[in-house]
Amino acid sequence: MSGTYAVWGWGGPEDEPSAADLASLAPFVAETTGIPVQAPFRPRPLPELPPPRADLPSSLAPLCSTDPADRARHGIGRSYRDLVRAIRGELTHAPDLVLRPRDEQDVVDVLDWAGSAGVPLVPYGGGTSVVGGVEPVGLERAVSLDLQRLSGVVEVDPISRAVRLRAGTLGPAVEEALKPHGLTLRFYPQSFERSTVGGWVATRAAGHFSTRQTHIDDLVESVRAVTPTGVWESRRLPASGAGPSPDRMLLGSEGTLGVVTETWLRAQPRPVHRWSATVAAADFTAGADAVRLLLQSGLTPATCRLVDAGESALTGTLTTGEAALVLGFESLAAPLDQETASALALCQDAGLRVVEAGPRGTSGEAWRSTFVRAPYLREQLILLGVLVETFETAVTWDLLPRLVVQVTAAVTDALVAVCGGGRVTCRLTHVYPDGAAPYFTVFAPGRRGVEVAQWDEVKVAAGEAILASGGTITHHHAVGRDHRPWYDRQRPDPFARALGAVKRELDPTGVLNPGVLISAG
Amino acid sequence: MSGTYAVWGWGGPEDEPSAADLASLAPFVAETTGIPVQAPFRPRPLPELPPPRADLPSSLAPLCSTDPADRARHGIGRSYRDLVRAIRGELTHAPDLVLRPRDEQDVVDVLDWAGSAGVPLVPYGGGTSVVGGVEPVGLERAVSLDLQRLSGVVEVDPISRAVRLRAGTLGPAVEEALKPHGLTLRFYPQSFERSTVGGWVATRAAGHFSTRQTHIDDLVESVRAVTPTGVWESRRLPASGAGPSPDRMLLGSEGTLGVVTETWLRAQPRPVHRWSATVAAADFTAGADAVRLLLQSGLTPATCRLVDAGESALTGTLTTGEAALVLGFESLAAPLDQETASALALCQDAGLRVVEAGPRGTSGEAWRSTFVRAPYLREQLILLGVLVETFETAVTWDLLPRLVVQVTAAVTDALVAVCGGGRVTCRLTHVYPDGAAPYFTVFAPGRRGVEVAQWDEVKVAAGEAILASGGTITHHHAVGRDHRPWYDRQRPDPFARALGAVKRELDPTGVLNPGVLISAG
């Protein structure tokens, strides 16, 4: 269709949707989402980029690419607004250079040069940010520091079951390397195929499991990072009470304090016992009550995904007009009968209806495959003119029902005002004894040429409603540049100042990912 | 016996050991520990303290105590060296004043005054630090900020099962307040009776459960603290991915960045199903291997305490010369048969011998009662001239066996050199899939007058061996002043600088707990 799929597409060249793909998908989309499809977008060619404005010393030349597609690709993430702008050829913030360090010393050298030359550096893992995490906005010049060459497993500790990984390793490469050891990270964010270990750590990513060790924070034994003023390496430990956790200061720092180069992560064998069920709830609130009781009874289902009626119908999870609760239990050692019997009894006591339940083989993996394939479907929807985006939060149970109602209403109103209509669906992706993470999906008819402005307005409505309802501006998508207005209001003021002080100490010339998390100054 | 029990004793006046108590305990101690007892210490009277050197404004006078016993009590914690020095009347570092704020505004006012007058403030919860956390060493003057008047439950959220607590609330008061709601924190550090909620948060305390949510870090939903430059309050959330966690910066800050005034903690109902077992292992290493397999099979026993042969014999856990593994499972909803059967099968496969196993009623609570009573026994041993102290660490499984051997050897050698002999025992208190927390107990004959110097020398041997063996200088006792030499070497250098920058930002005049965690400057 065009030469720009490498810039905005989720997959490799073989994954680019053809005209025939889109034609066959169109009627299905119109029917299931109710959103009218449009004649497919014809991606525009890459605009001419300004000539690189950064003078690289010759010693760093071997790391450098100035290829326009490369620069363009490194200037965007994978949010709706990123894809639309790229498809429309509106790439205004491409970095001047893309540097690909081959080893940690290269990272040190690049930081040294950037610091002395005052050139902003944007650390780049897989480029799958959906929150403006890698886009060098408002900078006169910038360099993208692509870590993917720092890839691979350095060391496996089979006794402690932990693995030392280079930051640029992609999800599938991690699993491939662990397989011979009979281990897995069991960490599957939706970006699994395209995101990196270092990106997970920097953004506090979450996998798809609903409970227990589902945040990368929980898997981290230690982190090694290069800061502009020295190498940071924490001791590998199962736990420690020695002062505030060093790792927790880097987790979520989004490339503003240092560049993660390696990390030790906890691994585990694959589960032996698996069980799953689909349970129907009269509505989302009834389902949420049951989920709360499940979690508060001490059960820790690997999957506990409550999907509202609209999304259940859309995805075919349940087409009865009820909300669907998809439950999955997994275990290595003990059989699951008692936990699953307790879970089903509890659901039934709460008035839910068991649709199906039983041991499963690889059906969970089939779902996971659909889950990680979703971005491919999404880009096809976007090509068909559908405004499709997601956003997420977390909130305590006492505030959850009101948050879901208020956010849904605010976003629906905004869609009506901005797009003339649209749909908002909600599911709980992660659940805790004291609260849950609602995840919203929006479908609306995008208006050619103003889609980005449309979405920006809807996003403001979503952010305001989330904050007013007591939620966090992000549960696992990170802050980036897009969430700054709400993040700045959400965090404690002394903490914001503390973070600024850390930034000035570690990165005195302010070259690391300016604009993300922390304002300059 | 003397009027100083209020200064150094664990309990109230009724708990002070009498001469008869000590006389009846003495033969038992000599027999079980093999350490010769001595004629009981006769606690010396309080020394005359220098007159208070801090000029308090009259507005703060209602908060102030200059009572010598009060000042003396606030100048020490509850380590061996603290007790010995207090019993010997060697209290060289008492604070000049003890201030007891009645509400948060009082805390703000005290910080304002201290900041402008340049008077160091030592936040004080229950005063149970065993690492020199509350002793104002090397300061010309200092004020102890005792938070115990900020006590009580502010609010219970029965839906999300969380509770808003004032920082000065003691463990038993928390449980008393939660009981009518059918809830418990299920958080029992050994200092439970005498330590406070704010102290737990500030020091990253751990409860006695071996797995799952056993660190206070895991129970924290939000923290409110007064810093010298503003109030810090995080949003109450079940989870969040918005930047580095603000709470994790305060957790473990040990009173150096702000004074915790309130926190929301996660609560839960009491378990319904309980089961326990005692399993015998040929030796500690064989037991540790089994524990590792248990944890790595995904089991999460509430109790998983591996006690070496010496300590098993001493405590009567098992008197066969084997190491004892005490296992306990608890559950709210699902019966425990499958997990406990898996656990026992796994132990047997690993070559361990089941001594006893079965459902239990309140035997866990009986053990807990012994556990929280241990400090009362310890002070009696000290009065009988026994050098008795504990220290702890955490380490990954691959390094655990060597760490236990090396630390035991180093400390045994030091005891021989310094005390002419003594005993070191070890147990695992907390266990993780990737490692464990070994907890060491030392018994030796103290030599009258030089006990503190003796222990200091042994402690150096312990700290050096722990660091050299790959452990952390503390798993849950905190850093304080006593662990500084090793903490400073253990933490990443850029992190140390970051922490210093945070300190300067939040506490620009450096009045909060100087010397703990961070050096001035």
- ipTM for the complex? 0.97
**pLDDT surpassing 70 at residue A365:** no
- What local confidence, expressed as pLDDT, does residue B362 receive? 54
Contacts of B204 in chain A (CB under 8 A): 241
Over its C-alpha atoms, chain A yields an Rg (Å, rounded) of 23
Instruction: Identify from B111, B163, B495 which residue to disrupt to test chain A contact, counting A C-beta atoms within 10 A and taking the largest count.
Output: B495
A170 neighbors A126 (Cβ within 8 angstroms): yes
Cβ neighbours of residue B252 closer than 8 Å, sequence gap 6 or more: A241, A242, A243, A244, A245, B202, B203, B204, B478, B479
**pLDDT surpassing 50 at residue B1:** no
Contacts of A435 in chain B (CB under 8 A): 160, 237-239
Helix, strand, coil tally for chain B in percent (to 5): 40, 20, 40
Q: How many CB atoms lie within 10 A of CB B374?
A: 13
Task: Report the share of chain B in percent with pLDDT over 90.
Answer: 92
- Rounded mean pLDDT, B138-142: 94
Banded pLDDT at A104 (limits 50, 70, 90)? very high
Are A160 and B266 a contacting pair at CB < 8 A?
no
**A143-146/A121-124 β-pairing:** parallel
CA distance B243 to A502: 13
- Rounded mean pLDDT, B18-22: 95
Contacts of B397 in chain A (CB under 8 A): 159-161
B73 neighbors B5 (Cβ within 8 angstroms): no
CA distance A202 to A103: 19
CA distance B61 to B72: 19
- What local confidence, expressed as pLDDT, does residue B220 receive? 98
Are B238 and A338 a contacting pair at CB < 8 A?
no
Q: What is the pLDDT of residues B116-125, one digit of tens each?
A: 999 999 999 9
Domains annotated on chain B, with CATH: 5-146 (3.30.43.10), 153-266 (3.30.465.10), 273-364 (3.30.70.3450), 385-489 (3.30.300.330)
Banded pLDDT at B32 (limits 50, 70, 90)? confident
- What local confidence, expressed as pLDDT, does residue A1 receive? 42
CA distance B103 to B355: 53
**B230-233/A121-124 β-pairing:** unpaired
Place of tokens 């402008």: B116
| Least confidently predicted of A352-366, B400-414, B460-474 | A352-366
For residue A194, the SS3 value is: coil
Are B299 and A334 a contacting pair at CB < 8 A?
yes
Are B266 and A434 a contacting pair at CB < 8 A?
yes
Cβ neighbours of residue B510 closer than 8 Å, sequence gap 6 or more: B120, B503, B504, B520
Instruction: Identify from A221, A502, A519 which residue to disrupt to test chain B contact, counting B C-beta atoms within 10 A and taking the largest count.
Output: A502
Are B434 and A221 a contacting pair at CB < 8 A?
yes
| Least confidently predicted of A344-353, B234-243, B269-278 | B269-278
Write the burial class of residue B466 (CB in 10 Å: 0-12 exposed, 13-18 middle, 19+ buried).
buried
- What single string gives the DSSP state of each residue in B80-122? HHHHHHHHTT------SEEE--SSHHHHHHHHHHHHHHT--EE
**B273-281/B323-331 β-pairing:** antiparallel
- B226-251: b or e for each residue (b if 16 or more CB lie within 10 Å)? bbbbbbbbbbbbbbbbbbbbbbbbbb
The residue among A433 and B33 whose pLDDT is bigger is A433
> Where would I find the H helices in A179-283?
197-203, 216-219, 246-250
- What local confidence, expressed as pLDDT, does residue B520 receive? 64
In the 8-state DSSP scheme, what is residue B137? T
A257 neighbors A163 (Cβ within 8 angstroms): no
**pLDDT surpassing 50 at residue A513:** yes
Contacts of B296 in chain A (CB under 8 A): 161, 268-269, 332
Q: Which helix (H) or strand (E) holds A507?
A: none
**CA-wise closest residue to A218 among B107, B502, B241, B303:** B241
Residue B74 region by backbone torsions, left for phi larger than 0, else alpha for psi between -120 and 50, else beta: alpha
Contacts of A513 in chain B (CB under 8 A): none
- What single string gives the DSSP state of each residue in B459-515? HHHHHHHHHHTT--S-SSS--TTTTHHHHHHHS-HHHHHHHHHHHHHH-TT--BSTT
A514 neighbors A231 (Cβ within 8 angstroms): no
- A40-79: b or e for each residue (b if 16 or more CB lie within 10 Å)? bbebeebeebeebebebeeebeebbeeeebbbbbbbbbbb
To the nearest whole Å, the CA of B73 is away from the closest chain A CA by 25
**CA-wise closest residue to A78 among A20, A141, A29, A125:** A125
Q: The dihedral of CA A201, A207, A213, A215: what is its sign?
A: positive
Which residue among A257, A266, A491 sits closest to B246, beta carbon to beta carbon?
A: A491
Q: What is the pLDDT of residues A138-161, one digit of tens each?
A: 999 999 999 999 999 999 999 999
A63 neighbors A126 (Cβ within 8 angstroms): no
- Rounded mean pLDDT, B432-459: 97
> Where would I find the H helices in B56-210?
68-74, 80-87, 104-117, 171-178, 197-203
Q: Please report, for residues A205, A220, A234, A432, B368, the alpha-carbon distance to residue A213 in angstroms, rounded to integers and kept in the order given.
A: 12, 10, 20, 11, 28
Average pLDDT for chain A: 95
CA distance B512 to B507: 7
pTM (global) more than 0.90? yes
Instruction: Identify from A233, A249, A481 which residue to disrupt to test chain B contact, counting B C-beta atoms within 10 A and taking the largest count.
Output: A249
**What tokens were used for A432?**
């805790």
Residues paired with A430 in a beta bridge? A437
Largest interatomic CA distance in chain B: 71
For residue A294, the SS3 value is: helix
- What local confidence, expressed as pLDDT, does residue A363 receive? 55
